[in-house]
Structure 1
Amino acid sequence: MAKMKAPSGSKKITKAWLEFMLAEYESKERPGTSVSVADFSVKQGIPPGEGFNSELVLVDITAELSSGPGDAQEKTYHLAAKFLHVDPIAAELNRRFQSHIKELRMYAEVVHELNAFLAAGVPEESQICIPKMIYGKENGSEYVLVMENIKAAGYMTNDKRKGLDVDHVKRSVEEIAKVHAVSYAYNKSHNFLEKFPCYQFKAKYLNIIPAFLKFSLKNCVACLNTVKGKEELAQKVGKAHPILSKKFHALFDDFGNECLCHGDFWNCNIMFKYQQHDDGQEQTLEGIKLIDWGNSSWHNPMIDLQYLLHTSTTLELRKTHIDDILQKYHTVFTSLTTKLGAPLPHYSYSAFREDWERTAIYGFILGNITIQGTLSTTYSTTKSQGPSILDHGALTPIRLVVNSIKTGMAKLIGPIILGKFVGIMLKPIQREILSGTNEVLNARLLDVLCEADEKGLFDE
């Protein structure tokens, strides 16, 4: 089958490319299958601004498949396609951190490898659940990842403003515990990073955190200043940046590299499917799939647990159910690693809880930053962007020059430029916090601040 250049974005998707891509996919099961696309539509997969690492579009296709004379059949496809972000700065940062490569390899190789290992060791255990990959290509100049659109199969995300309830949290930690346990056990006999070196955690991944922390803490002080009786805590948080930075980096100095972690494990990267009962009222959680693996790396599993609990649950839930949730994770993780021949004999639940408390600093810092970025309604990147004058065909040369300048800027970006960029992004959130109009944002932010203070995270 002749090769075809992948489109660079949603506007470049053509009928010819769809036919080529689907023929390659279908020929894996029925060699020689040809595909003739009768109709297709392309629409944005997420609201403007929510795709920080990539452009996500949904593609619906009606096609006719044929693998020989008299063997034609009609088939409908509901797909999700990811391309590098159209903004040159975002695309360059994406390349710098290899997010696109890591996500493509997760779908193309890693999960298949881990599931094969799991099936061989514990055949009765359900597989790691991610959307099915249809097509992928990455060669430096081209990148596209096409998956099944699981929304069309009934999967949906939970409302991020409400947060996950206890049943959804338990199901989520059960699934991530499986990923952690299988990769941990696999590594004992196969050396995961030797086969998949792009998942090696690198210190440069942390370089972006100090800038976000500095400005997010200013917003935290603004939040506390809107609450009567929190003046003392506001002063403490205002002086906490060097303390938190020191604790955060010390944590990573002795964090341990143990398993494959998702890295962005929060509410909107977990999709659930429900079974509707006959009465039309009740529904049962039936399935779960984990999406968006671009931030995955080989690290300590606590980064996923801390991130999930501090970005996607309320303080009330954590106080009421934290022990049940952590018990669920610990049971699944230790049971599955034992079944796979890699037991952790000295990792009792009490030792696990010590790890949880020790890594609370990670939960607060990432939770604080992510809550501001995801719950704000004035976050600059979520504003819809209309068509640019540079999109006009006659101005293509100018657009190319502008894009090359942006790309050059991204390659030179350093702590000072990054700090100014982050400050510009987070300033509108501070105004929203001070206005008091976003009650959910202010309440969740206040919760993580009070919780962190109770744990002594702002103290020397």
Structure 2
Amino acid sequence: MGSENEANPEINVTPPEEKGFPLTKEFLELAFDREVEKFSVNVGTNPGDNYMSILHAIKVTFKGEKESNHYLIKCYPNNQGRRDFLDQTNIFSKEFFIYQEFIPQLKQLAIESGAQNIADLSVAPVHGGNIVGTLSSKFTMKPWSDENFILMTDIRTIGFTMADRIKGLDLEHTKLVLEEIAKFHALSWAYKQKNGLSLLSDKYPQFADKMYDNDDMMKDFKDLVDHLRTNAVTMVEEKLGETHPASKSFKDFVSGDYMGYMKLFVKKDGIDEEHVESHLRIKPDADKDYDYEPWLVGTHGDCWVNNILFLYNDEVPKKPVKVTIVDWQVNREACPTIDLVYFLFCSVRTSIKIPHLDDLLKVYHDAFLRYCNALEVSPLKGFSFETLKRRFRRAQHFGILVSMPLLSIVLKSVEESFDIDTVQSDDMGELFRSMMTGSDKNALVKHELSETVLDMYKNGVI
């Protein structure tokens, strides 16, 4: 290592080279094309904050400079099951594509449209990387040719921080995130319009879903799905009562083809609106003029509280003034409501989400229209507040299904935080099930899930 390879004494660190990644002075000089005076390496995340990758925090002082620079390097894990999962889903290369290729084009599009005010899509600056077998880079020489990694600025050192995942986001934080989601959606939609694309995935296969569309991989999760289904139904019945009509409706809803139904929401050519609406307990009023054409934009795909960092002002109490969404590994072309339900169901507590839902959707709706206008493109076909609410309502089916596993992770106490690197098994279903151990005894998970189910029943969604 370099001349300053000391670790934080309060954290037990295994140096990256002992985990397989040759992080050396030579690597950093190659990455930045500058001479390194000294550097140190530490863990990049706390246990329970990151699941599919390994993060290392790097502090570098370049020759001739007094101030240190801070970076994160995101690497493949050592666990073979997790490595195979990353290969099968292409999620590592998808993220690198977003950072290196797609977002720079969106920023350029905004500038050319005279919309400099929305060119500041907030992402962490990336300084390079290597994706084995797909990209040619200066890192394709040994000893880094067999390593997958992304090297980026550690924006936490300039004030960005993660919110309290257990407490959830308040209205102010939630609205700020919805504005940023709307910005990315509008920029990706404008990109399609200005480049004459029917589908982003026609030009960029990275936007096609590789997770739910992998039938062989999904079979590996059958036991996990059965476990989730049983746990969720038990918690709802214990909270609401086994004979409560909401409990019965929820049990009927999750007893079907869980994964097959979720796939309907991430199809390459969009959601079959009429078919999905047929699954609602109370169907929308008949409207012969309603346009069922799918909405399709570039989405983040994994927008939950651990993938969101906030910057605050210096006032007391502090207020969030900027948000950065990270971890673009599950990006896909999909209906914008998929990002909305994923975010609201997994990161915002029911005490905020349920009574303020219309106000929150209005924030997104108005922001999307405002950004489309600035980018000089028409909005999605038939885009109105009423249609957004209608499509969000049917998307709640996806929201409750995806939140069943995620809430058990989001709401796990700090004391019970799960370190995925301690699991030796290569079976991904077993690994994810280990992450969710104890969720059926978590009173907060039970409360949030039951309140969501009750609200969905009252609104005829289930």
SS at match of 1:42: strand
1:339 matches 2:374: yes
Paired with 1:88 and 1:423, the residues of 2 have a C-alpha distance of 14
Paired with 1:271 and 1:216, the residues of 2 have a C-alpha distance of 29
Paired residue for 1:37?
Answer: 37
Shift of 1:129: 0.5
SS at match of 1:287: strand
Shift of 1:286: 2.1
Where does 1:131-210 land on structure 2 (aligned, <5 Å)?
131-140=124-133, 141-190=146-195, 191=197, 192-202=200-210, 204=213, 208=218
> 213, 218, 231: which is aligned to 1:219?
231
Where does 1:377-392 land on structure 2 (aligned, <5 Å)?
377=413, 382-383=418-419
Amino acid at match of 2:121: I
Farther off after superposition, 353-362 or 152-161: 353-362
Do the aligned partners of 2:303 and 2:339 also contact (CA within 8 Å) in 1?
yes
Paired with 2:26 and 2:50, the residues of 1 have a C-alpha distance of 27
SS at match of 2:156: coil
Shift of 1:105: 1.3
1:31-58 Cα deviation digits (max 9, x unpaired): xxx31332x2212212235432211111
1:101-156 Cα deviation digits (max 9, x unpaired): 01111111111110110111133423211011122122333311111111101000
SS at match of 1:311: helix
Equivalent residues, number: 400
Distance 1:311 1:244, change over 3 A: farther
Amino acid at match of 1:428: T
Paired residue for 2:336?
Answer: 301
Shift of 1:335: 2.4
Shift of 1:374: 2.5
Amino acid at match of 2:229: L
1:433 matches 2:437: no
Amino acid at match of 1:93: F
Paired with 1:252 and 1:49, the residues of 2 have a C-alpha distance of 27
Paired with 1:59 and 1:442, the residues of 2 have a C-alpha distance of 39
Farther off after superposition, 375-384 or 166-175: 375-384
Amino acid at match of 2:232: C
SS at match of 1:73: coil
Shift of 1:196: 2.4
Distance 1:385 1:172, change over 3 A: closer
- Identical-residue share of aligned pairs (%): 20
Distance 1:90 1:378, change over 3 A: farther
Distance 1:228 1:185, change over 3 A: closer
Paired with 2:385 and 2:151, the residues of 1 have a C-alpha distance of 40
Do the aligned partners of 1:114 and 1:186 also contact (CA within 8 Å) in 2?
yes
Shift of 1:433: 2.5
Paired with 2:24 and 2:105, the residues of 1 have a C-alpha distance of 32
Amino acid at match of 1:447: E
1:118 matches 2:110: yes
Where does 1:402-417 land on structure 2 (aligned, <5 Å)?
none
SS at match of 1:136: strand
Paired with 1:267 and 1:137, the residues of 2 have a C-alpha distance of 27
Do the aligned partners of 2:51 and 2:420 also contact (CA within 8 Å) in 1?
no
Paired residue for 2:254?
Answer: 241
Paired residue for 1:396?
Answer: none
1:263-319 Cα deviation digits (max 9, x unpaired): 001111111011112xxx322322211100001111111110010110111222122
Do the aligned partners of 2:265 and 2:334 also contact (CA within 8 Å) in 1?
no
Distance 1:293 1:320, change over 3 A: same
Distance 1:97 1:248, change over 3 A: closer
Paired with 1:336 and 1:142, the residues of 2 have a C-alpha distance of 39
List runs of 5+ in structure 1 lacking aligned partners.
1-5, 24-33, 65-71, 389-402, 411-417
1:384-420 Cα deviation digits (max 9, x unpaired): 75699xxxxxxxxxxxxxx9xx5xxx7xxxxxxx66x
List runs of 5+ in structure 2 lacking aligned partners.
1-15, 134-145, 272-293
Paired residue for 2:449?
Answer: 445
Paired with 2:27 and 2:435, the residues of 1 have a C-alpha distance of 40
Paired with 2:302 and 2:447, the residues of 1 have a C-alpha distance of 22
SS at match of 2:239: coil
Farther off after superposition, 171-180 or 313-322: 313-322
> 304, 308, 322: which is aligned to 1:270?
308
Do the aligned partners of 1:10 and 1:42 also contact (CA within 8 Å) in 2?
no
Normalising by structure 2, we get a TM-score of 0.78
1:128 matches 2:164: no
Distance 1:227 1:308, change over 3 A: same
